[in-house]
Amino acid sequence: MSADRTAKLLWSATALGGATAGASYFVTGGPRFWANWVVWFLFLLTLALGALFLVALEHLVSARWSVPLRRIPERLASLLIPLCAVALIGLGSLQALFPGARPEAAGDPALAGKAFWLGVPFFSARVALCAALGLVPLFVLLRGSLRQDRNPDPKFTIRARRFAPVCMAIFALLVTQAAFDWIGGLTPAWYSDVIGVYLFAGAFMAGLAATALAVLYLKGKDRLQAVRFDHVFNIGAFLFAFTVFWAYIAFAQYMLMWYGNLPDEVIWFQAHTGGAWLGVVALLALLHFFVPFFALVPRDVKGDPKRLRWVALVVLAAHWVDLYWLVFPALGAPVFSWPELGFALFFTCGSLLWVRGAMERGEDMPVGDPFLKEGLEFRL
């Protein structure tokens, strides 16, 4: 398919998805529209942050193997720019979904004390601050990296290594804000310290899966020929390792709350595993842990493009199910129908359009990076 036709197809799919999603606001009501919006905002946010984490991690630990791949997560992380708008529009969901932001909260003794934190003004301020903070690493790491293509000056490499710890702090803050505000805020009476780590595990997996898909796509187009089996293997190995990390965090959170059996904690799991949600939980465990884990267990398949491609797709689907499971119980029983499909079409095709544009920015590899040669010679 020619590039023009692909672009046209993506644009029309995005428009169709957008129209469907918009229509759902009037047909199926505001809360469901906003729940979908929050799920997709979080999906793309965690994906972009996961990619940013890969970039920052490389600078932080002076990794060499990932230098030839670095441009791919850099491009994916640029999704944070359109996500600022998605986040600000998402503030419209506050009254519809977040009990702490409703006027009735003032009369609820459990929420009145936290009114300032959960209320619309400070919630919005936090979101705006985090959106601005998210642009800082892009400004430093991405712009500098692109400049280095034209002017191979190691100054950027040194600056990036100095900035990496700050970037990690920003990353942690953003993931925590997303988890505590956008997910925890749906049930303000419920506390879980580990929900941020849980979201981070999902975010890193989503970032890795998207990176794997983009790398394999570009390799298929003969654009990343110097990337060898060994590099792809490492991405597969990371993905494999983090399926276990995610499962560990998810189960640890559940088991401790189940054991403690404190009413204000278990009520969350009662709502999220009751009725048809139990089926969603089973699907989540299957897609987010069992399928990717057993699919990537044998040694050689971690670098096998065919296997890695479908596992990465499964992981991305599982990440959506994960966020759906975190957000949608606020509406009651699970619902899945044309509004969800419309949102999926709108946001996947929209983000693909953005990523397609980003894929043309700069070289496919950081050609000015002094460690590129070492990275290309990387051997398992």
Partner 1 sequence: MNETFAVLGLFDSADALMEAVPKVRALNLGRLEAYTPYPVHGLDRALDQRRSPLAGMVMIMGILGALTALLFQYWISAVDYPIVTGGKAPSSWQAFVPIMFEVMVLFATFTAGLGMLLLLNRLPYFGHPVLQAKAIRGITRDRFALSVEAEETFDPAAARAALEAAGARDIELLPAPARGPWLTADFIQKSLAGIAVACLVSGLVMFAAVKLVPILPPMSHMSDQPRLDPQAESAFFKDGRGMRPPVAGTVARGFMPPGVASEDEAARLVNPLPRTPAVLAHGQAEYRIRCAVCHGALGNGISTLGAAYGAKPANLQAPNFLAYSDGRIYGAIVLGKNAMPSYAADLPEDARWAVVHYVRALQRAQNAKDEDLK
Q: Applying CB under 8 A, which residues contact partner 1? A: 230, 251, 254-255, 258-259, 261, 263, 267, 270, 297-299, 379-380
CB of 113 to partner 1, least distance (A): 17
CB of 377 to partner 1, least distance (A): 11
Q: Smaller CB distance to partner 1: residue 64 or 126?
A: 64
CB of 292 to partner 1, least distance (A): 16
Residues 156, 150: Cα–Cα separation, whole Å: 12
Q: Amino acid letter at 236?
A: G
Sign of CA dihedral 159, 165, 166, 171: positive
Q: Smaller CB distance to partner 1: residue 6 or 270?
A: 270
Place of tokens 């890193």: 204
Sign of CA dihedral 186, 277, 245, 296: negative
CB of 197 to partner 1, least distance (A): 18
**CA quadruple 213, 220, 349, 82: dihedral, nearest 10:** 70
Q: Smaller CB distance to partner 1: residue 214 or 295?
A: 295
Q: Are 190 and 264 in contact (CB under 8 A)?
A: yes
Q: Smaller CB distance to partner 1: residue 7 or 255?
A: 255
CB of 115 to partner 1, least distance (A): 23
Q: Smaller CB distance to partner 1: residue 92 or 298?
A: 298
Q: Which contiguous run of DSSP H or E holds residue 380?
A: none
Number of H helices, E strands in the chain: 18, 0
Residues 359, 275: Cα–Cα separation, whole Å: 44
